[in-house]
């Protein structure tokens, strides 16, 4: 990918794009809270029976007095977290994406978002990539329903390193957060030493023909799409939009002005998520053609992650095609 200018500082040094290091983003969360727990006695973690799955078990074992099991009761988990926050603790409430957002929506709305409680909702197992578990466990609406809540910051880090960083940084901000990550191993490619600021996106590659704005695992998928486009002399800018709310309007408007068309990529419904958020900015500030990659108003099904990405139109091939469609729509 030496045909375009690479902003090295956002990517790890000597990134081997053909053979990247694989690491779980949920592990980035687990490692972050263990490290935070060492220095900050106010960090407390709530367990909803899936501690091993969401990697809160490491914190539980390291600081048992600061780990509160609430059973399989996500509504209670969110309320308990709010109560802990009232006493000056920084509660981390973690379970699978669907159960962290859909089931306790009213609790999050009233007791956390409206009440502006310093609770960090950290959701693992998001998107299509929980694969074989099927549609009930594939959280494809979580970003949308968290994004519409006033006072909520919504973050979708791209990999292990960025998840670690987002979790650590969130505890320095006295506000409710929703942080979304994934179960499976995925390429770990973001530079742990790169600057990270909520609401300020990372431009990983500069380009002039089209901009891909991606979040979460789809950032890497987009990089693969750019590999495919390399031979066709299409210059693509790639933005890692790790914060969905507040969204980096400036970067979106600049992308539309500089490149004339946009492709959004997310492992989530197109409605309500990153795609919707980008379209809202463009419609108000600088209308430009947008192609959306994501779930097309549909639930998922069982299957391997790669099979589902292929079937539901989220694979790098689909992204490359979307770039070409977007280019054709440019005036």
Q: How far apart are CA 291 and CA 313, in angstroms?
A: 12
Minimum CB distance to other proteins smaller for 112 or for 290: 112
Our answer to whether residue 74 is catalytic in this structure is: yes
Q: Write the secondary structure of the chain as one string of H (helix), E (strand) and C (coil).
A: CCCCCECHHHECCCCCCCCCCEEEHHHHHHHHHHHHHHHCCCEEEEECCCHHHHCCHHHHHHCHHHEEECCCCHHHHHHHHHHHHHCCCEEEEEEEHHHHHCCCHHHHHHHHHHCCCCCEEEEECECHHHHHHCHHHCECCHHHHHHCCCCCEEECCCCHHHHHHHHHHHCCCCCCEEEECCCCEEECCECCCCCCECCECEEEECCCCEEEEECCCHHHHHHHHHHHHHHHCCCEEEEECCEEECCCHHHHHHHHHHHCCEEEEEEEECCCCHHHHHHHHHHHHCCCCEEEEEECCCCCCCCCHHHHHHHCCCCHHHHHHHHHHHHHHCC
User: Which tokens go with 141?
Assistant: 């609406």
State the minimum distance, in angstroms, from the CB of residue 320 to other proteins. Answer: 46
What angle do the packed helices 25-39 and 160-170 form, to 10 degrees? 40
The number of residues that bind other proteins (CB under 8 A) is 33
State the minimum distance, in angstroms, from the CB of residue 150 to other proteins. Answer: 9
Judged by CB under 8 A, the stretch of 105-113, 131-139, 200-208, 277-285 that binds other proteins is 105-113
Closest CA to 221 of 312, 296, 315, 156: 315
Binding of residue 86 to other proteins (CB under 8 A): yes
Judged by CB under 8 A, the stretch of 8-16, 21-29, 77-85, 207-215 that binds other proteins is 77-85
Binding of residue 76 to other proteins (CB under 8 A): yes
State the minimum distance, in angstroms, from the CB of residue 82 to other proteins. Answer: 5
State the minimum distance, in angstroms, from the CB of residue 207 to other proteins. Answer: 42
Catalytic residue among 74, 221, 266, 291: 74
State the minimum distance, in angstroms, from the CB of residue 119 to other proteins. Answer: 10
User: Which tokens go with 258?
Assistant: 């500089």
Minimum CB distance to other proteins smaller for 107 or for 240: 107
Binding of residue 143 to other proteins (CB under 8 A): no
Residue indicated by tokens 């109560």: 83
Minimum CB distance to other proteins smaller for 91 or for 260: 91
Minimum CB distance to other proteins smaller for 88 or for 231: 88
State the minimum distance, in angstroms, from the CB of residue 257 to other proteins. Answer: 36
Judged by CB under 8 A, the stretch of 18-26, 114-122, 135-143, 271-279 that binds other proteins is 114-122
Binding-site member from 75, 185, 203, 302 for other proteins (CB under 8 A): 75
Judged by CB under 8 A, the stretch of 71-79, 94-102, 197-205, 232-240 that binds other proteins is 71-79
Q: Rule CB under 8 A: which of 11-70 touch other proteins?
A: 44, 65-66, 68-70
Binding of residue 79 to other proteins (CB under 8 A): yes
State the minimum distance, in angstroms, from the CB of residue 152 to other proteins. Answer: 14
Closest CA to 239 of 200, 209, 187: 200
Binding-site member from 4, 50, 62, 73 for other proteins (CB under 8 A): 73
Summarize as ranges the residues that interact with other proteins (CB under 8 A). Answer: 44, 65-66, 68-71, 73, 75-89, 91, 106-107, 109-111, 114-117
Give the active site residues.
Answer: 74
């Amino acid at each position: 990918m030496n045909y375009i200018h690479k902003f090295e500082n956002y990517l790890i040094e000597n990134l081997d794009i053909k053979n990247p290091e694989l690491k779980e983003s949920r592990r980035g969360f687990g490692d972050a809270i263990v490290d935070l727990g060492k220095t900050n006695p106010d960090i407390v973690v709530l367990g909803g029976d899936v501690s091993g799955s969401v990697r809160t078990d490491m914190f539980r074992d390291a600081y048992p007095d600061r780990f509160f099991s609430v059973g399989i009761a996500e509504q209670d988990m969110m309320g308990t977290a709010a109560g802990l926050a009232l006493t000056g603790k920084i509660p981390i409430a973690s379970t699978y994406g669907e159960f962290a957002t859909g089931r306790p929506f009213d609790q999050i709305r009233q007791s956390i978002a409206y009440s502006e409680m310093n609770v960090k909702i950290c959701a693992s197992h998001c998107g299509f990539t929980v694969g074989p578990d099927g549609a009930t466990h594939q959280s494809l609406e979580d970003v949308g329903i968290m994004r519409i809540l006033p006072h909520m910051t919504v973050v979708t880090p791209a990999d292990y390193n960025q998840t670690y960083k987002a979790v650590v940084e969130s505890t320095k901000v006295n506000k409710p957060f929703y942080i979304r990550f994934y179960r499976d191993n995925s390429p770990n490619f973001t530079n742990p030493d790169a600057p990270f600021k909520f609401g300020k996106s990372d431009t990983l590659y500069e380009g002039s023909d089209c901009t891909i704005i991606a979040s979460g695992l789809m950032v890497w998928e987009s990089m693969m799409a750019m590999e495919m486009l390399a031979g066709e002399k299409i210059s693509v800018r790639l933005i890692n939009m790790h914060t969905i709310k507040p969204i980096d309007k400036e970067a979106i408007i600049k992308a539309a002005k500089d490149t004339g068309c946009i492709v959004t990529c997310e492992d989530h419904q197109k409605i309500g998520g990153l795609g919707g958020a980008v379209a809202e900015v463009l419609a108000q500030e600088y209308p430009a053609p947008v192609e959306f990659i994501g779930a097309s108003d549909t639930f998922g099904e069982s299957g391997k992650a790669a099979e589902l990405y292929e079937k539901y139109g989220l694979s790098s091939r689909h992204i490359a095609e979307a770039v070409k469609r977007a280019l054709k729509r440019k005036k």
